[in-house]
Structure 1
Amino acid sequence: MEMRAVEDARRWLAERGVVEAGDGWADLEESEGPLTANEIAHSWVSEAFADEGLDMARQLRLAFGLLDLLDDYWVTCEIRFADRGSKGPLSADVLWDGYRRRLEADRDAEAVTYSLWVDWFEDRDTAATAFAAVLGNDIEHIVTEGSDASLRRAARVLACSGPVPWPVKQKAYDTVVRLPALHGSLFKGLLASYHDLYGDLEPTAALALLAQLQLPAGTSHLMELRSVLTAGHTSEPPPA
């Protein structure tokens, strides 16, 4: 958690009459009862991108602070709307640094990984840029001399990388094979590449990677994945 960003976000909300109240939130200008973090995210994150007292980079940093404070997926939706909207694109350096920092943090990152998976990675217009920014550009450095934080980031990205087009992620996958500490996460990526609705893989190359992984005995779905890849399947067939 970026503590300064959190405090800036808390202060920004308080200036607008929105404060923490018990286990929820209160809008001092409204008479409604306690509000959830999700309700605050829906009501206020878009306002951060409309704050004319802040330049675009500071608006984005404020939004990331709101993400840390509220821990709600909707904040990431508003960030993407701003990037893809009429005022976008946002500063790529600030945007992807914000994602990397939260992927490396020693705290739950579900909102961030879910955002990558269903928004940035499933969209063919953004998948390559997003994957490169959060992992592909520095995977070689991570594998050879990565810190605990960067390994945490790599593990999280690999696990949700199923929808990333195979040509985009194959080099990173090939590199990760050299580091057994990431084999479990790479297996999750391969499994998702087969099972996800928008998953993408090349069965021969994926099978070769699977053969190199050091996984615990009895790893769930390992035999099944090996079988379908051997048969040349690229994705799970739809239900009848």
Structure 2
Amino acid sequence: MSDEKPDTLLTANQVAHSWVGDVFAEDLNAADQMRLAFGLLDLLDEYWVTCEIRFANDDAEGPLPADVLWDGYRRRLEADRGADAVTYSLWVDWFEDHATSATAFAEVLGNDIDRVLAEQSEVLLRRARRVLECSGPVRWTVKEPAYGLAVRLPALHSAVFRGLLTSFHDVYGDLDPTAALRLLDQLDLPANTQHLAALRHVLVAGHTNHYRGPAAWDDAVRSCS
């Protein structure tokens, strides 16, 4: 409820904007403040909670304890529930920023990709899928090793494809067309997978990003239709 209008129920988004920032003013150590913030993320399922966490990490009293920060992300990426707020946060806040993308990608997947291959547990595969699908903005040299290992698991082929596709289409997407084509050709995907033929077409032609040559994608779609 609103303090000013006690009979008015606030939406989850309004609660996030009104109250989450106060978590980092609580008389708690930084790790406990962050755990409380992640608890509110679980409760509210609002992207703004992740913004407040990032603000606290970047402010004069930051950074926040990295082990607690990234453990919080990993746990929610593994959970058997929606993770849209977390994956959107990774995509637009951590992965699009080249000052943080390498560390963020390593923490949520890169450091664990060997373990994903070894264990192939559903929770690790779930995390890997979610990270791969939103990893388009991560620099190619950072994510290519993880992509190269992920193609060994058929359970991740669809996610690798989504990662390659967003690496091409995202405004900040990054890929090497020759290496990306080599990975694409290792994926076992249905022949009618949407955008599969068009993506192969632009990679064969050596294009690196939709926005550096927007006509190339349109030409590819026409050629493959």
**TM-score > 0.5, shorter chain as reference:** yes
The residue that corresponds to 2:206 in the other structure is 232
TM-score (norm 2): 0.92
> For 1:160-210, what per-residue CA distance to the aligned partner results, in whole angstroms no more than 9, with x for missing partners?
000000000000000001101000000000000000000000000000000
Query: What secondary structure, in the 3-state scheme, does the structure 2 residue paired with 1:112 have?
Result: helix
Does 1:195 find its partner at 2:169? Answer: yes
Gaps spanning 5+ residues in structure 1: where? 1-25
Task: Give the C-alpha shift of residue 147 in structure 1.
Answer: 1.3
1:200-219 counterparts in 2 under 5 A? 200-219=174-193
Superposition TM-score, scaled by structure 1 size = 0.87
Alpha carbons 2:171, 2:211 under 8 Å: kept: no
1:55 aligns with 2:62: no
User: How big is each residue's C-alpha offset from its partner over 1:75-119, in whole Å with a ceiling of 9 and x where there is no partner?
Assistant: 000000111111110000000000000000000000000000000
Query: What is the distance in 1 between the residues matched to 2:193 and 2:60?
Result: 47
Query: What letter corresponds to residue 17 of structure 2 in structure 1?
Result: H
Give, in whole Å, the separation in 1 of the partners of 2:60 and 2:18: 20
Of 3, 6, 13, the residue aligned with 1:38 is 13
Aligned equivalents of 1:146 and 1:113: distance in 2?
21
Counterpart pick for 2:112 among 138, 148, 157: 138
Structure 1 residue 217 displacement after superposition: 2.3
Is residue 48 of structure 2 the alignment partner of residue 74 of structure 1?
Answer: yes
Moved over 2 A (4+): 237-240
Structure 2 alignment gaps of length 5 or more: 216-225
Partner of 2:135: 161
Looking at secondary structure, tell me which structure has more helix per residue. Answer: 2
> Quick one: which of 89, 92, 99 aligns to 1:115?
89
Shift of 1:42: 0.6
Deviates more, 1:143-152 or 1:40-49: 143-152
What secondary structure, in the 3-state scheme, does the structure 2 residue paired with 1:212 have?
A: coil
Greater alpha carbon shift after TM alignment, 83-92 vs 32-41: 32-41
Q: Distance in 2 between matches of 1:169 and 1:77?
A: 24
- Following the alignment from structure 2 to structure 1, what is the Cα–Cα distance between the partners of residues 100 and 211? 26
1:127 corresponds in structure 2 to 101
Q: Pick from 70, 90, 101: which aligns with 1:96?
A: 70
How many residues get paired? Answer: 213
CA distance in 2, matches of 1:130, 1:87: 20
1:237 positional shift? 3.3
Q: Amino acid of the residue matched to residue 98 of structure 1?
A: G
1:216, CA displacement in angstroms? 1.4
